[in-house]
Structure 1
C-alpha cells in the first residue's frame, strides 16, 4: 500500500491589529481629581478566529502604568497586556514631494533671473538711443514698443515672485511634516493586548487608566444683596479644569472628584530594625592613609505591576520589562472640615471639550441661594476702617472645596476672599472687604489726674475715650462690633478699674482659684448700654472660649444696631491708680492718640 501524502497545517500566525488611540477610539468619560485624572477609552474592531494581537499606539506618556485596567465585551478572552514606549524613529530628511518642490523652486529662480536681466537690457537699450540716430517720426513707435515689452516683463516677474512664495510655503510645510512624522513626545506609549477569539466577530475593548498633568480647582463668585432680607447671598460654584496630558478631551462626559485617588498604592513594608553596641571609630592619624571606600553593588530589582482583570475571563496581566517604572506621586490630601472628610462627586451637565493646552477652562457647577448673617467689625485704635464679613450657611447638598472667591456687593466688585472647605449644612465665615458707608471716628483721648492719701500718696489717672459710629446707609444695620481695650496691670501696686461700660471685672483682679461659676456667668453676660447697644468682654459670645480667661487681656466689644443716616456714640472710661511720683512703664501709651 502506497503511503498517502498528508498536508501539514501552516504554522500558527496570530492576527495583528494596529490601532491609534486618538483615531480609533472614543473617550466615554473622564474623572478629574486633584493632580490627576482617570480616562475611559473604548475601542471597537473585528477579530479573527484564534489568537489576535492588538497594538494600541499613541497612549499618553504621563499614563500611570500601574493604574491601567482592560475590560471588554464579546466572544473573546483577554490573555495578556504589556506596555512599552514607542521608540523614536529616525526623522526623514527628504521625500519625493520635497525633491520635486526644490526642483520647481530652482526653475522659478532661474526664470526670475532671466526676467530681471531682460528688464535691465531693455532699460540699457533705451538709454543708448540718441536723437541724431533716430527719426522723430519713429520715436512714438519706439516708446510704444518699449512700454509693451516692459509691461510684459513686469507681469512675468510678478507672476514668478508669486509662484516662488507659494513654493517656499509648500517647502516649509513639507519639512514640518517630515520632522513630525511618526512620533509625538507626549503620546509615546504603546499597549499590546493579547485576545483569543472563539469566532470572527466584532469586540469592544475598554482601557481605563490614570494620567498625571490634570487637575481642577474650585472658584466662587459671591454676590451680596444688602437689600434682601432672606437669602442675601448668591454663591456661584465654579470649577477651573486644567490638563496637559497630550490627548485632547473632545465632547466627553466629565466628572469632578474631590476624593483622593489611590492608584498604585501598595501595603508598605517594614525596614529591618537591629540593635548593636556602639563602637567608636578609631582616630586616624594624618600620616595614615584612609581606607578605600566600600564598593556597593546594585542588585537588579525584580517585580511587576499588576493590571485589573478582564471583564470577560479573568487572567493575570504582565508588564513588559522594556520601560522604567515611574515613581509614585504623593497625593495632596483634602482638608478636613468640622463634620468629617470633604468628599463629593460633581457631574458636569452635558458634554464638554477640554484641550491639552495647560489653560484653565471654567465650568459652572451650581448656583446657590444661601442665608447669611452680616457683621461689621472695626478696631478704631488701630484703623478706623470697617470690615464687613458674613457667616454663610451651606444649606445645600454640595461640598465646597477651598478656593478663591470674587465678592460683589450690590453688583459692584469689592474684594477677593477665601472660601474654606465646607460640608453640607455647615457654616463658614467669609470676609467681604471694607464697607466705606460705615464711618468710625476715634476721638482724642481725655485724661484727668488727681492725688489722694495722707501718708501714702497715690496718683489717680482717669482716661475717657469717645467713639462715634455713623451709618450713612439708607437702611438700618445690626451687629456692628467695635473692639477696644484698657491696660492690664502686671504689678500689685498698679490698680486698673473699668468705669464705663460697667462690665464685671472680678476676674481681672481676682485669682483664678477664686473664680466661681456665678462670677464666670456674670463676666460672660453682655451689659446693655443704650437702645441697640450692648457691651461685653472680647470672646464672651464664643462658646469655645474659656470663661475664666475673659477680661484678663483687657479687650472689650460693643455690639451695636445703627439706624439709617444716624450716629451712635460710645464711651470707654477707665481709671489707673499708682503710687505717686512713680514712673509707670506703659502708662504714657495710654495718652497717645491713634
Structure 2
C-alpha cells in the first residue's frame, strides 16, 4: 500500500532558529492522486513527530491528516558518501604500506643476522685453517645488501608517514563533516504522510521542528570621529547539526524558547447543586464486551498442537511431574500458566466456562501484578483510550461470594494514547492482558547517534563576550529576519551570517578619575533609535576604518541608551596636583583646618575637541562635630551607582583640539583641635 502512494520531493525554503532548536519549512508540489494520500520526502531523521504542520499554499483542497514516518533506503555500492570512500581507500593504502614496512624490517633483521658458522670439529681432528676470504665476502655481501635495504626502508618510511598524515587529515574532515551525509549502506530519513481532500495540482508547505541548532548575536560597529551617525551590522553565529544542510534558505533568528509550552490552561468550573458525573475525556471509548472470547478459538487450536516432551531437569523436586517446555508457538499458554487474575484455570486449555449468575460480569483480562496503571503512559487501552479502572479492581477468580462491581474511575489517557494513527494492535502472540488492545509504539524513531550529535551543539564553547539569546533577552521575545539567503552546513561548528544593518546614534565622551589613575578612557554612548532590540554580545568596533577592539555590548531595548567602553585614550593626557595645608582657627585655636586643594591639567592631542568628564571624591563626615566645605564648580552624581558613589564629584569640560584645560577644586575639613584624622591629617 505504501509503495503505491505518490512520493513528492521537497525543497527547504526557510528556517527559524530559536534559542535551542529550529523550525524548518519545506515546499512540495504535484498532482493529487485519487485517494489524496501523498508522501513528502526529504525530511531529516530528527524531525519531531508532534511538531508536523502541513498547509495548502495553492490549489484547491485541505489537509485532513499529516504524520511523520521513517524512511530507509539501501544504497548502491557507488552511492556511498565521497568522504567515506576516500577514508576507506586511504585506510587501505596505509595498512598496505604498514604491512610492507613490517616485511622490510623482517628482511633487514634476517640479513643482519647472517654470520659465518664454522663446522663442528671432531675430537681426533686437528685445527683447521679459517677461510678468511669467505668470511670477508660474506661480510661484504651483508653490508651491500643492508645498504640497499636501508635505502628502501627510508623511502618506505616516508611513504608510511605521508599515508598516515593523509589518513589523519581525512579522519578529521570526516569528524567535521556534515551530519547530512551519514556512513553505512542504509540511508535514513523521514517522510511526511499527508492526506489532502481535493483534486488537481496543489502546493504544500510542510513545517517541522528539529533539535540541534543554536545561535548567538554578534555585531560590527563602524563610525568616524566627531560624527553622530554610525553603522551597526547585526550578525549571528549559527551552529547546527540537524541532519540536513541549509543551502540558500531564508533564515530567521528568534529568542523564543521552542520547547516552552504555549497551550491555553483549562480551568475547572465550580458548580453549586447536586453532584454530577464528570464527562469522559474527548477521544476515549470504553473497551468492547467479550474481548477475552475473541481469542478462545485460537487458544484451543494452539493447545491441540503436540508439544515435544523434554527430559527432567537435574535436581528437580521429588514427585514433580515433567511438563512441556514453553516454545515459541505457545506464548498464550505461558501467559495462562502464570495464573493471571480474572482468567480461571490458569494452565487449562479447555474453553472458558460460564461464570455463575451470582457473580458480577467479569472485566476483560486485567494486567498481571506489576503491570502499569491505566493512567500511566503506555498503559493498555482500546480504540485509542486508556484502560478503564475496572482492570485494577477486578474480582479474583477464587472468590465464591458475589461482589458488587467496583465503580470505574475516570480514565485519563495521555497524548500518545489518543494518537490513533500511531497505535498498534497487539496480536495473539502477546500476553493475555495486551491481546486485542491498542498500544502506542515504544520504539524511538530517531537514531540515538544522531540525537547525541544534535545535543552536542548546545555544549559548544561560546566566543568571547558571547551570551545565549535566552539569557540576554530576559522576558521579551524578538525575531530577526536575515536580508539574504544563507548557507549553513550541518557540521556542528559556528558559522557567521549577516542579518541586517541598523543605523544608530553614537556620542564619544571621555572619563577620567585622576585620583585613582592618571589616564583618560573613551566611552561610547550608543542610542538605539530603531524598532529592533539589540541583545548582549560581542561587538567589533572600528574607528575611521581601523579596527579598534572587541567589546561587550549590553542588551539594548528600542529607544535605550547604553555606554560601551573603548579602552584607554592615549591622545588625551591628564595630570593631578594636590596640596594640603593645615592650620587652626576659632577661639583659643579650638578647630583644626585641613585645606585640600586640587589642580587638574588636561591636554588634548586629538584633531577634534573632546568632552571630558572628570571625577573626584570628597570625604563624608561621620560625626556632627566634623564639617566639610567643598569648593564650587563640582556637582554630585544625578543617580549614584556602585561605580559612582554619592561621595563622588563630577565636572565636565570641553578641551579644544590640540589645546589644554585646567580645573581647580578641593575641600576644607574642620575638626576639633584635640582630634586627628585616622592615618594622618596631611593626606591627599
TM-score of the two chains, using structure 2 as the length reference: 0.52
Instruction: Determine helix, strand or coil for the equivalent of 2:582.
Output: strand
Counterpart of 1:386? 520
Match of 1:303 among 396, 414, 425: 414
CA 1:562–1:333: 2 relative to 1, 3 Å? same
Once the two structures are superposed, the pairs formed by residues 134-533 of structure 1 within 5 Å of their partners are 180-183=184-187, 187=189, 190-191=190-191, 193=193, 195=195, 204-228=203-227, 230-231=228-229, 233-261=230-258, 265-267=262-264, 299=373, 300-301=376-377, 302-304=413-415, 321-323=441-443, 333=470, 335=472, 341=476, 343-349=478-484, 351-443=485-577, 445-454=578-587, 457-478=590-611, 480-498=612-630, 500=631, 502=632, 527=633
Distance 2:624 2:196 in 1: 93
Distance 1:41 1:441 in 2: 66
Pairing partner for 1:569 from 662, 665, 669: 662
Residues 371 and 193 of structure 1: CA distance in aligned 2, closer, same or farther (over 3 Å): closer
2:54 alignment partner, one of 70, 88, 91: 70
- Measured after TM superposition, the shift of residue 403 of structure 1 is 2.0
Change (3 A) 1:468 1:306: farther
User: Could you tell me which residue of structure 2 aligns to residue 35 of structure 1?
Assistant: 20
2:675 is the counterpart of 1:555: no
User: How far 1:472 moved relative to its partner?
Assistant: 1.4
Counterpart-to-counterpart distance in 2, 1:352 and 1:336: 24
CA, structure 1 residues 84+552, in 2 after alignment: closer, same or farther (shift >3 Å)?
Answer: closer
**Correspondence 1:108-147 to 2 at 5 A:** none
Find the aligned partners of 2:421 and 2:43 in 1 and give their Cα distance. Answer: 20
Measured against aligned partners, the alpha-carbon deviations of 1:536-580 in whole angstroms (never above 9, x if no partner) come to 2222xx5xx69xxxx993321110011122221222221112222
Shift of 1:226: 0.8
Instruction: Flag structure 2 segments of 5+ consecutive residues without an equivalent.
Output: 105-155, 175-180, 269-368, 378-412, 424-439, 459-467
Partner of 2:335: none
Structure 1 residues 57 and 567 mapped into 2: Cα distance closer, same or farther (>3 Å)? Answer: closer
Matched-pair contact (CA < 8 Å) for 2:254–2:480: yes
Number of aligned positions between the proteins: 424
- Distance in 2, matches of 1:15 and 1:47, equals 16
Task: Provide the rounded CA distance (Å) in 1 between the counterparts of 2:550 and 2:55.
Answer: 47
1:357 shift after superposition: 1.3
Q: Distance in 1 between matches of 2:477 and 2:38?
A: 44
Query: In the superposition, relative to structure 1, how do residues 36 and 448 fare at CA in structure 2: closer, same or farther (>3 Å)?
Result: same
Task: Give the unaligned 5+ runs of structure 1.
Answer: 1-12, 117-157, 272-294, 308-314, 503-526, 528-534
Report if the CA contact (8 A) 1:222-1:405 is conserved. Answer: yes
Q: Retained in 2: the 8 A contact 1:49–1:197? A: no
- Cα distance, 1:489–1:306 mapped onto 2, change above 3 Å: farther
The 3-state SS of whatever aligns with 1:384 is coil
- Quick one: distance in 1 between partners of 2:186 and 2:71? 10
Distance 1:81 1:346, change over 3 A: closer
Q: 1:413 to 1:489 in 2, by over 3 A?
A: same
- Pairwise CA distance, 1:332: 6.6
Deviation of 1:439 after TM superposition, in Å, equals 0.8
Q: Does structure 1 retain, via aligned residues, the 8 Å contact 2:480–2:499?
A: no
Tell me the SS of whatever aligns to 2:51.
Answer: strand
- Partner of 1:461, secondary structure, is strand
1:118-139 deviation digits (Å, cap 9, x = unpaired): xxxxxxxxxxxxxxxxxxxxxx
Deviations 1:120-168 (A, max 9, x none): xxxxxxxxxxxxxxxxxxxxxxxxxxxxxxxxxxxxxx9xx9xxx9xxx
Provide the rounded CA distance (Å) in 2 between the counterparts of 1:365 and 1:194.
34
User: CA contact under 8 A between 1:16 and 1:55: conserved in structure 2?
Assistant: no
Give me the whole-angstrom Cα distance separating, in 2, the residues matched to 1:304 and 1:552: 57
1:524-547: CA deviation from partner (whole Å, max 9, x where unpaired): xxx4xxxxxxx32222xx5xx69x
- Residue 32 of structure 1 contacts residue 255 of structure 1 at CA under 8 Å; is this kept in 2? yes
- CA RMSD in angstroms, aligned pairs only: 4.9
Aligned to 2:637: 538
- Indicate how the Cα distance of structure 1 residues 264 and 64 shifts in structure 2: closer, same or farther if over 3 A, else same: farther
Q: Post-superposition shift, 1:411?
A: 2.6
Decide whether aligned partners of structure 1 residues 419 and 298 sit closer, same or farther in structure 2, where only a CA change above 3 A counts. farther
